[in-house]
Amino acid sequence: MSFGGPQWPQEPQQQGQGQQGQGQQPGYGQQPGYGGQPEYGQQQPYGGGQPYGGQPGPGQQQPNPFPGAQGGGTPDWGALADASANRNRRKRWLLIGGGALATLAVGAIVATAIVSTNKTGDEAKNGGVPTVTASPTGSPTPDPTFSSVAPPPPPNPKDYISDPKKDKAPLSAEGLFPGKKMSMNGRPYKKGATSASADCASVTQGGLGAVLKKNGCQKILRATYVKDGVAITVGVAVFPSEAAALKAKAQATGGIAPLAGAGVREFCHATVCLRRSNAIGRYAYFTQAGFANGKKVTKADKPIFQASDDLGTFAFNQIYARGRTQASAAANAPGE
């Protein structure tokens, strides 16, 4: 029978624009435009009140069409020539000034293009301009660099409980089964006696001793726990390899011998008890559970099966914790 315990890891809305005020239409008889139209029958005056195309009235003088002309109606040709010369000079200066500005602008564009080209050539020649950042003190600091090599993965605890060369931590019954009690999912168990033996066959029943010896068992650590009239002994056997422990589990027959003492009397003698076996790493563990008063165990006795499950899970956890502790120590060791 197997434990049934843990297996190895496994556009926001725009406001509506106000309606455009409709322009008032011009009143009847009015025309829109700049200034009103003359009323019917009247004539629009042009300039100084003279009718369009009319002759000056009596006593009125014809306006001089040449404001710069001498009296008598003859134009002042010298003044007109001077004015024309002044206009021509201003045009020449404007053309000269505009040409100079255009020349300067073209020169600046050409110079900028040359500088930009030289800068680009220098960057290409020298590998580009390095990017620097300013530190809190104002001095430039180079960009950080990162290694392209991935860090090694953390050690696997199972490796440390599978290989004797790594599994070097001290091992004892009190170290593996510490304290005076243990609790599993709120169910407390009181610890009884503990033991350690290098003669694996001597602490077994039935054919288990031969199986352990054949597969190179090196040591067995045992502890007994009791709860509500149920007594359970758990034994952890140490092997030279994971393969050997797995073979012992597969070949198991008989069981671990019950361990009495420390307030726990003999149990599982000349009666029926529940035996189970399992393995992790180079460790195989076995349980034997029964009634402390010698009552025969049946399939209906759920407290027996529950106790066996709890102690098997406890043994698994303790062995795995051993591997986790050693893996953590190796990960934090200098030079590792």
Phi, psi dihedrals of residue 333, rounded to the nearest 5°: -75, 145
pLDDT of residue 86: 73
Q: Are residues 234 and 103 in the same domain?
A: no
231 close to 267: Cβ distance less than 8 angstroms:
yes
Contacts of 323 (CB under 8 A, 6+ apart): 157, 158, 159, 160, 161, 167, 281
Q: Is residue 31 domain-resident?
A: no
Task: Identify which of 329, 327, 333 has the alpha carbon closest to the alpha carbon of residue 159.
Answer: 327
* 40: pLDDT strictly greater than 50: no
* 12: pLDDT strictly greater than 70: no
User: In the chain, how many domains are there?
Assistant: 2
Q: Are residues 190 and 282 in the same domain?
A: yes
109-159: per-residue pLDDT in tens? Answer: 655 555 555 555 554 455 555 555 555 555 566 666 666 677 777 889 999
Q: Is residue 70 domain-resident?
A: yes
Domain boundary among 133, 156, 176: 133
pLDDT of residue 333: 79
The residues pairing with 197 across neighbouring beta strands, listed in sequence order, are 220
Q: Are residues 71 and 178 in the same domain?
A: no
Domain boundary among 88, 118, 133: 133
Specify the DSSP element, H or E, that contains 285.
strand 283-291
Predicted confidence band at 197 (pLDDT cuts at 50, 70, 90)? Answer: very high
Average pLDDT over residues 55-71: 48
Q: Is residue 174 domain-resident?
A: yes
Q: Are residues 82 and 171 in the same domain?
A: no
Domain of residue 190, residue span: 165-328
Domain boundary among 90, 118, 133: 133
pLDDT of residue 135: 53
Q: Are residues 105 and 247 in the same domain?
A: no
Q: CA 336 to CA 334: how far, in whole Å? A: 5
What is the CATH number for 275?
Answer: 3.40.1000
Predicted confidence band at 326 (pLDDT cuts at 50, 70, 90)? Answer: very high
Q: Is residue 71 domain-resident?
A: yes
pLDDT of residue 87: 74
Q: Is 27 left (phi over 0), alpha (psi -120 to 50) or beta?
A: beta
Q: Which residues of 291-317 are buried (b: 16+ CB within 10 A; e: fewer)?
A: bbeeeebeeebeebbbbbbbbbbbbbe
The residues pairing with 39 across neighbouring beta strands, listed in sequence order, are none
Structural Rg of the chain based on CA atoms: 56
Q: Are residues 230 and 187 in the same domain?
A: yes
pLDDT of residue 5: 45
Q: Are residues 179 and 297 in the same domain?
A: yes
**Residue 190: count of CB within 10 angstroms of its CB:** 14
Q: Are residues 79 and 188 in the same domain?
A: no
* 174: pLDDT strictly greater than 80: yes
Average of per-residue pLDDT values in the chain: 76
Task: Identify which of 42, 43, 22, 44 has the alpha carbon closest to the alpha carbon of residue 34.
Answer: 44
Q: Is residue 275 domain-resident?
A: yes
pLDDT of residue 26: 39
Q: Is residue 17 domain-resident?
A: no
Q: Are residues 75 and 203 in the same domain?
A: no
The residues pairing with 134 across neighbouring beta strands, listed in sequence order, are 140
* 8: pLDDT strictly greater than 70: no
Q: CA 39 to CA 31: how far, in whole Å? A: 11
Q: Model's pTM, two decimal places? A: 0.57
Q: What is the dihedral of CA 147, 148, 154, 159, to 10 degrees?
A: -130
Q: Are residues 196 and 128 in the same domain?
A: no
Predicted confidence band at 30 (pLDDT cuts at 50, 70, 90)? Answer: very low
Rounded percentage of the chain residues whose pLDDT exceeds 90? 51
Q: Are residues 102 and 174 in the same domain?
A: no
Q: Is residue 146 domain-resident?
A: no
Q: Are residues 191 and 86 in the same domain?
A: no
Q: Is residue 18 domain-resident?
A: no
Predicted confidence band at 81 (pLDDT cuts at 50, 70, 90)? Answer: low
- Which alpha helices (H) appear in the chain, and where do they start and end? 77-126, 157-160, 173-176, 208-214, 242-251, 302-332
